[in-house]
């Protein structure tokens, strides 16, 4: 089934759900859970975190039109911001004109850091650790025979000598193939297990034993080539390239540029029950890896095509944690139809690139507010007290009068109510 669904946004919620159910072969039970509008029951929530008093809901939307590696995907997105899902769907449609988005990724390798302090001879100690690499990896792998059986486990080890303000430290990196997990649990357990042995080898003491969120061994690359006509012509494509060059040269702009990418990335990360703080931390640390904060994507044009690419770390899983315990996260993973964590990461990278295209295209052409206005105006109308059909009437009138403000909404609402009374 194609994910190219013109007019999806015009359908009723019921009709949209029917299409998604058919696309993803959802069971009646899954459909009913989606219809409950609160798929997370309080007992599950109470087991997920501490001191629970309720659950908290956000909208779950579906971005359509995504073609990634020649396969159609419907993209579940959980986000509070208007326009993001519509913009993603719209830009995904444009990428189809050039064959969609293509992706690749490194393996799912995470880094566990072990901090060794008060090491008497750091340079020699480093070599002593490297000499015993196989023994240490073996020790780490004893923690997780299941992961090892699946082809994962601790694969490599690095030792860095890090000069700090209070002296030299030896920082050991355990490189772990975490397969389909996000990996924090597996990596942290391994780091804690090997730390005493590392301390005894080096004559120092261990302190921190924790994974690094700068997951630069777990990188996704996504790219697309779009005929300029599909984005609105040569001039718009040039505007997109200029927007990228601006971000490349200026960290103030790069932060906003990357925020636009994370609009797409986080929405899918959250929908699938993954740790969005980890993904955010990794993305921004990676963006600043050269010592200056830079955009995660790149856009160029030769006048015929617009070429976009993105490279970022994406530590996400499809087993463990909320990806399994949150019932809606499980359904979102089913809608995506991803078979591995690597595939999920690549899809998320593609969404980030497409979301970035949507923002830059709007900024380079009509400006961002035009797309935001309709839903924004509805929100303002609700804030002003509009209910039922008053919401659309107030919103439409504010847009017509080119003033979307709460005082204006109240004024229009009063007018409508007075005219209805007479």
Residues within the interface to ligand MEV (CB under 6 A) = 81, 256-257, 259-260, 263, 359-360, 363, 368
- Rounded Cα distance, 281 and 137, in Å: 27
257 tagged catalytic: no
- Rounded Cα distance, 191 and 204, in Å: 16
372 tagged catalytic: yes
The smaller minimum CB distance to ligand MEV, of residues 368 and 382, is found at: 368
The smaller minimum CB distance to ligand MEV, of residues 360 and 380, is found at: 360
Q: Find the residue with minimal CB distance to ligand MEV.
A: 260
Q: Report the nearest approach of ligand MEV to the CB of residue 83 (Å).
A: 8
Q: Report the nearest approach of ligand MEV to the CB of residue 261 (Å).
A: 8
Choosing from 259, 302, 401, 407, the catalytic residue is 259
The smaller minimum CB distance to ligand MEV, of residues 81 and 407, is found at: 81
Q: Report the nearest approach of ligand MEV to the CB of residue 258 (Å).
A: 8
The smaller minimum CB distance to ligand MEV, of residues 350 and 359, is found at: 359
Choosing from 372, 390, 397, 408, the catalytic residue is 372
Choosing from 81, 135, 235, 302, the catalytic residue is 81
259 tagged catalytic: yes
The smaller minimum CB distance to ligand MEV, of residues 21 and 256, is found at: 256
Choosing from 30, 177, 180, 275, the catalytic residue is 275
43 tagged catalytic: no
Q: Report the nearest approach of ligand MEV to the CB of residue 267 (Å).
A: 11
Q: Report the nearest approach of ligand MEV to the CB of residue 72 (Å).
A: 26
Q: Which residues are catalytically annotated?
A: 81, 259, 275, 372
């Amino acid at each position: 089934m194609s994910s190219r669904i013109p007019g999806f946004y015009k359908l009723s919620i019921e009709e949209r759900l029917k299409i998604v159910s058919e696309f993803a072969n959802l069971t009646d039970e899954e459909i009913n859970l989606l219809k409950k509008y609160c798929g997370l029951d309080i007992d599950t929530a109470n087991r997920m975190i501490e001191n629970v008093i309720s659950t908290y809901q956000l909208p779950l939307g579906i971005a359509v039109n995504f073609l990634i590696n020649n396969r159609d995907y419907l993209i579940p997105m959980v986000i509070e911001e208007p326009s993001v899902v519509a913009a993603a769907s719209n830009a995904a449609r444009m990428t189809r004109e050039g064959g969609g988005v293509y992706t690749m990724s490194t393996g799912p390798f995470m880094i566990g850091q072990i901090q060794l302090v008060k090491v008497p001879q750091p340079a020699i100690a480093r070599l002593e650790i490297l000499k015993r690499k196989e023994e240490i990896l073996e020790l780490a792998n004893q923690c997780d025979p299941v992961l090892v059986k699946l082809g994962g486990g601790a694969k490599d080890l690095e030792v860095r000598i890090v000069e700090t303000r209070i002296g030299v430290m030896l920082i050991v990196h355990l490189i772990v193939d975490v397969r389909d997990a996000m990996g924090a649990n597996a990596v942290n357990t391994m780091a804690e297990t090997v730390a005493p042995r590392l301390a005894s080898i080096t004559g120092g003491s261990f302190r921190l034993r924790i994974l690094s969120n700068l997951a630069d061994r777990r990188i996704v690359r996504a790219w697309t080539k779009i005929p300029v006509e599909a984005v609105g012509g040569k001039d718009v494509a040039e505007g997109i390239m200029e927007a990228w060059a601006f971000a490349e040269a200026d960290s103030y702009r790069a932060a906003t540029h990357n925020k636009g990418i994370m609009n797409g990335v986080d929405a899918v990360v959250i929908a699938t029950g993954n740790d969005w703080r980890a993904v955010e931390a990794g993305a921004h640390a990676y963006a600043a890896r050269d010592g200056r904060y830079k955009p995660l994507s790149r856009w160029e044009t030769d006048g015929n095509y617009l070429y976009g690419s993105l490279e970022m770390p994406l530590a996400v899983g499809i087993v463990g944690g909320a990806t399994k315990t949150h019932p809606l996260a499980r359904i979102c993973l089913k809608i995506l139809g991803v078979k591995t964590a690597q595939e999920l990461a690549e899809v998320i990278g593609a969404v980030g690139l497409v979301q970035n295209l949507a923002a830059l295209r709007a900024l380079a052409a009509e400006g961002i507010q035009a797309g935001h206005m309709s839903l924004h105006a509805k929100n303002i109308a609700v804030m002003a007290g509009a209910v039922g059909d008053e919401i659309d009437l107030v919103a439409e009138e504010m847009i017509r009068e080119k003033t979307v403000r709460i005082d204006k909404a109240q004024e229009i609402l009063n007018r409508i109510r007075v005219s209805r009374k007479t």
